[in-house]
Structure formats: structure tokens, C-alpha cells
């Protein structure tokens, strides 16, 4: 490797894994408000929830692989529902962890993103998110799901490559706020559906059948993870 290539590689390494300056507090607050604007209104949420579904199903898929299961495929639907199919033992810790990973994935990803932003790794967060989306794309098994992941990953790629530090910072903070705040709403939606006798095959109900623990306790876990992630991650984001 000649000196020019080595210098370029070192420069790329520093750009991706080095730290970037924190944005102004007003930017952090503005991105929080922007995230709330696409989460709270029901009509907008019907569209933006697709991004939470990507994280939800990606959580199922990632934990399935980490626990030794074989991932058959992931499907994302236009009604913001999704399905992740894995093969392996139908009971036991691997299946339990896989089932529990869906509702907990978006807030935990937000918490991890907040931890990276707290130490200034803005570019690293954007590149990591892009890599995860590319890996997920390989396992998508329907056209709508592929289109959704491609558009999302393409947005991250464009911001990572073609925008300046200030735009990257604002985008990264908006994404993390969205995961933290948007990760709270699905558990409440599930609770509302279960109170009306629907969603009988939800993740909480599947976990209940797997563990003989009441579905309500699993729902409480989903609430606890999302709310604690929001409190912890929000504190990190606001300490600029």
C-alpha cells in the first residue's frame, strides 16, 4: 500500500470513528420536537411507524441469529405490521429471547444511539445504521419490505456521504429521538388492542405461551424497557 492510499485510509478511519462536535442545544431540542411531530399525530404515525417496524423486525432477526437460530426471512407490510420467520427449537431461551426482541429493539437501539452521540460518534452511528439496514435487506422477502429498507438505507447513505457535519448531527439526533420516543408508542397500542380482545397472537401472548408467564407481565416489560430507554437516552442527548 502506497503512502497516498494509507493516508486516505487513515483519513477515512478518522472521519468515521473519530468524534464530532456536539450540536447546539437548540438543535437537540428542535430534533426532539420534529420526532414528536411524526409520532404523535395519528395520520403521520401511520407512515412513520414503518421505520419502527424495521427496527422491530430487525430486532427479532438479529437476536434469532445471535441465539443460534436460522433466519428464514423478514416481511414488512404496508399496514406497518411485519413478520420474521426463523427456524430452530420451538421452545427454550433462544425462542424466548427472539420473541422478546421485537418491542424492545427500537428503544434499545435508540439508547445505544444516544450513547454514541453522547461521546460524539455521529458519523459512526450513521454508518452503523446503514450497515445494519444493508444486512437486513438481504433477508427481506417481499417487495414492499425491500422498498422500505432501500429508501431508509438510501437516506442514511446520502446523509453520510453528501452532507456536512451540521446536517449529519441534526439527522442523527432526529433518528435517535425518533427511536426513543417512537419506541414507547407501540407497547401502548398493543395494550389497547389487548384490552379490546384483539392481538391474541402478539409477541406478549407468544411469550406467555412459551414461558407460562402472563402476557400482561411481558407487556409491562415492554413498557419498562421503552420508558427507561427514553429517560436514559434523553438525558444523554440533552447533556450537550
Concatenating the DSSP letter of every residue in the chain gives: --HHHHHHHHHHHHHHHS--PPPPHHHHHHHHHHHHHTTSSHHHHHHHHHHHHHHHHHHHHHHHHHTTPEEEEEEE-TTS-EEEEEES-SSSHHHHHHHHHHHHHHHHHHHHHHHHHHTT-HHHHHHHHHHHHHHHHTTB-SHHHHHHHHHHHHHHHHHHHHS-HHHHHHHHHHHHHHHHHHTTHHHHHHHHHHHTT--TTSHHHHHHHHH-S-HHHHHHHHHHHHHHHHHHHHHHHH--
* Average pLDDT of span 155-183: 96
Q: What is the pLDDT of residue 60?
A: 98
Return the higher-pLDDT residue of 198 and 212. 212
CA–CA separation, 138 and 136 (whole Å): 5
Domain with 39 in it? 27-238
Please check whether residue 198 lies inside any domain of the structure: yes
pTM of the model: 0.92
Q: In 3D, which of 49, 107, 101 has the Cα closest to residue 225?
A: 107
Q: What is the pLDDT of residue 65?
A: 96
For residue 9, give the C-alpha cell: 485510509
Digit-coded pLDDT (tens) for 26-71: 999 999 999 999 999 999 999 999 999 999 999 999 999 999 999 9
Model confidence at 3: pLDDT above 90: no
Q: Report the chain's C-alpha Rg in angstroms.
A: 19
CA–CA separation, 200 and 181 (whole Å): 25
Q: What is the pLDDT of residue 1?
A: 52
Please check whether residue 124 lies inside any domain of the structure: yes
Q: What is the pLDDT of residue 190?
A: 96
Please check whether residue 20 lies inside any domain of the structure: no
Say what percent of the chain tops pLDDT 90: 86
Model confidence at 2: pLDDT above 80: no
For residue 51, give the C-alpha cell: 421505520
Q: What is the pLDDT of residue 199?
A: 77
Please check whether residue 116 lies inside any domain of the structure: yes
Q: In 3D, which of 2, 9, 7, 236 has the Cα closest to residue 125?
A: 236
Model confidence at 8: pLDDT above 90: no
Residue 211 pLDDT grade (very low, low, confident, very high; cuts 50, 70, 90): very high
* Average pLDDT of span 224-230: 98
Please check whether residue 227 lies inside any domain of the structure: yes
Q: Into how many domains does the chain fold?
A: 1
* Average pLDDT of span 201-230: 96
Say what percent of the chain tops pLDDT 70: 92
List the single range of 6-10, 161-165, 203-207, 229-233 with lowest mean pLDDT.
6-10
Residue 16 pLDDT grade (very low, low, confident, very high; cuts 50, 70, 90): low
Return the higher-pLDDT residue of 204 and 8. 204
Model confidence at 149: pLDDT above 70: yes
For residue 240, give the C-alpha cell: 450537550
Please check whether residue 21 lies inside any domain of the structure: no
Return the higher-pLDDT residue of 199 and 125. 125
* Residues in contact with 2: Cβ distance below 8 Å, sequence separation at least 6, in sequence order: none
CA–CA separation, 190 and 205 (whole Å): 11
Please check whether residue 63 lies inside any domain of the structure: yes
Please check whether residue 114 lies inside any domain of the structure: yes
Amino acid at each position: 500500500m502506497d503512502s497516498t492510499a494509507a493516508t486516505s485510509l487513515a483519513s477515512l478511519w478518522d472521519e468515521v470513528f473519530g468524534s464530532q462536535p456536539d450540536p447546539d442545544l437548540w438543535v437537540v431540542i428542535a430534533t426532539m420536537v420534529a420526532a414528536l411531530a411524526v409520532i404523535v399525530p395519528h395520520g403521520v404515525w401511520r407512515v412513520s411507524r414503518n421505520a419502527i417496524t424495521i427496527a422491530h423486525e430487525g430486532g427479532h432477526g438479529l437476536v434469532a441469529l445471535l441465539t443460534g437460530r436460522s433466519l428464514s426471512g423478514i416481511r414488512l407490510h404496508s399496514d406497518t405490521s411485519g413478520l420474521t420467520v426463523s427456524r430452530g427449537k420451538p421452545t427454550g431461551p433462544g425462542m424466548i429471547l427472539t420473541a422478546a426482541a421485537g418491542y424492545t429493539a427500537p428503544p434499545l437501539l435508540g439508547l445505544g444511539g444516544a450513547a454514541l452521540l453522547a461521546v460524539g460518534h455521529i458519523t459512526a452511528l450513521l454508518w452503523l445504521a446503514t450497515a445494519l439496514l444493508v444486512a437486513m435487506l438481504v433477508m427481506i422477502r417481499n417487495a414492499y419490505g425491500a422498498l422500505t429498507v432501500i429508501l431508509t438505507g438510501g437516506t442514511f447513505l446520502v446523509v453520510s456521504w453528501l452532507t456536512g457535519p451540521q446536517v449529519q448531527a441534526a439527522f442523527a439526533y432526529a433518528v435517535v429521538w425518533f427511536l426513543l420516543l417512537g419506541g414507547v408508542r407501540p407497547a401502548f397500542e398493543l395494550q389497547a388492542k389487548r384490552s379490546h380482545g384483539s392481538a391474541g397472537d402478539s409477541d406478549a401472548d407468544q411469550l406467555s405461551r412459551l414461558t407460562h408467564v402472563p402476557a400482561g407481565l411481558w407487556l409491562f416489560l415492554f413498557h419498562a424497557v421503552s420508558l427507561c430507554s427514553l429517560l436514559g437516552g434523553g438525558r444523554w442527548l440533552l447533556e450537550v
